[in-house]
Structure 1
């Protein structure tokens, strides 16, 4: 039985968020050992480049001669915003602020992407229609649910432990928490995390436009990681002067670098690029609040963290908001296709040469 493309896209984006949930746990453990966030991001890009280059060589090397200067420039922009700026700003911001605030601010990504997509006309909103209102309402629900999960706890929900409690992770996390009492540092960290979301949204917009001109996911993503690895290494060299900061060894640092490079920057970037090209920036960003729900589940399962009423209510709002956004987008897409078919029929009937004009219209791609 063949899986419909729409369901496959939904499953892909859910799995991407599951991968990012693992990133939160793994990167925290690595930085708790003293690993520099600059070094961590650099290794992530280097490993991702080699992983994706192998995939591009085996599956897409016949398309390499079609890369133009315009496409290369677009890839450079995506590497600067989507990889270097987004990741560096987030991890450095996380260092100056609390994980709670960083997680709350990162969930503004949906709203930022929504506004930028409308401004750059990659997403059309028929605000007077029911689907258009559903997309706007769903966006507010997702952001509101994220804030509720972050800032409101409420009573504890009594549920038994998962049975897969990982004491090593809990001891590493609890033993390395440090208080952040400098208000200036807190504000700086919050600004950096917010700017990382803006950079992430820019990547969504540029990646969708680039995909229409050059549709080779492994190739474009590997080149993006190549550019990003150079940028990150240069930045790290300026911030971390000691060569010992690059040491890995057979420990959590190596495991985290491999995980982030292969799963997060390798597989996830290519998967998101595919969904961006087929469904647009708003669709991809609509799944970002789901990360907070998955992190809460992983925290309960692995680190024996408590589940609160606020977490459950926030998760329900996020799920409902995602439904409204995806439903509204699908309905607007259906309306546009029906409108294009009606226009095509009118062209075929009213033109001087019906066969030629109708054939010409059929050759035009339907804008997604």
Structure 2
């Protein structure tokens, strides 16, 4: 469901006139590209097919426990849907904010600062134990370092720069690639099963991305 953010963002961008979806000219490729990418992701999720033969031993072994999982599908679907909608709105807000405040670097700093302040306030209320705040020189340290430098700094800054150059729909349409990359890395690094449906869906996603890029190129030429 997270990959529906691309379609939701494009729809919001069209409604707010940040993107053109005139289906009477070749720029219809932008609409088709978004729908095709979404169809590719859905096929990866819903269709498995035969398992691809493993090429070797995984690089990392993960112990999977048999803990009890409590499921609540109704609440889960509502929360995921709300997350997708608010995430799409966040990308649209970036586009509007950059029109009045086009300095990507300082905007990235402010966004990171506000996010850190909110997370700190929430964690202080939820976690009162000292162990929740301590960090050793292990995977917790490296994941936190990666999240701060790459995710909260480089990725946000690059997203803001691309939003100015190409618009919010151009940024979010590449999100389905994360599903493809996760499937590939999980297969080679963690040794998880890879299905033919995932490969077919990945090809469809790439075709959709090329359609959208082609539509954007035609739009810029005109």
* TM-score band, normalised by shorter chain: over 0.9
- The 2-side partners of 1:137 and 1:243 are apart by 52
2:34 matched to 1:152?
no
Residues 1:256 and 2:143 aligned together: yes
1:141 to 24, 36, 40: 36
**Structure 2 contact 26–218 (Cα < 8 Å) conserved:** no
| 1:241 maps onto 2:135 in alignment | no
Structure 1 length as normaliser, TM-score?
A: 0.57
| Distance (whole Å) between structure 1 residues aligned to residue 91 and residue 157 of structure 2 | 12
How much has 1:122 moved relative to structure 2?
1.1
Name the CA distance, whole Å, in 2 between partners of 1:205 and 1:324.
22
Alignment of 1:293-332 (within 5 A): 293-332=180-219
Does the C-alpha gap of structure 1 residues 317 and 119 become closer, same or farther in structure 2, counting only changes over 3 Å?
same
* Deviation, structure 1 residue 332: 1.6
Bigger helix fraction: 1
Task: Tell me the CA shift for residue 212 of structure 1.
Answer: 2.6
Q: What per-residue deviation string (whole Å, max 9, x for no partner) do you get for residues 119-156 of structure 1?
A: 21111211222222x22222121111111111221101
Match of residue 128, structure 1, among 6, 21, 24 = 24
Residue 307 of structure 1 aligns to a residue in which SS? coil
Counterpart Cα distance in 1 of 2:150 and 2:181: 16
8 A Cα contact 1:180 1:186, kept in partner: no
When Rg is computed on C-alpha atoms for both structures, the one with the higher figure is 1
The answer on 1:112 being equivalent to 2:8 is yes
Matches of 2:76 and 2:148 in 1, distance apart?
Answer: 24
| Moved >6 Å (runs of 4+) | none
Q: Deviations over 1:200-250 (max 9, x none)?
A: 212211212222333322211011111111122122222223332112111
Correspondence for 1:15: none
Q: Tell me if the contact between 1:141 and 1:317 (Cα under 8 Å) persists in the aligned partners.
A: yes
Q: Which has the higher contact order (CA 8 A, sep 6+)?
A: 2
SS of 1:226 mapped into structure 2:
helix
In the alignment, what sits opposite 2:101?
A: 214
| Shift in Å, 1:115 | 1.0
* Helix, strand or coil at the partner of 1:166: coil
- List runs of 5+ in structure 1 lacking aligned partners: 1-104, 336-368
How do residues 1-368 of structure 1 correspond to structure 2 at under 5 angstroms? 105-132=1-28, 134-161=29-56, 165-167=59-61, 170-171=62-63, 174-175=64-65, 178-182=67-71, 185-335=72-222
SS in 1 for 2:24: coil
Partner of 1:19: none
Tell me the TM-score normalized by structure 2.
0.92
Aligned length: 222
State the distance in 1 between where 2:202 and 2:131 align.
42
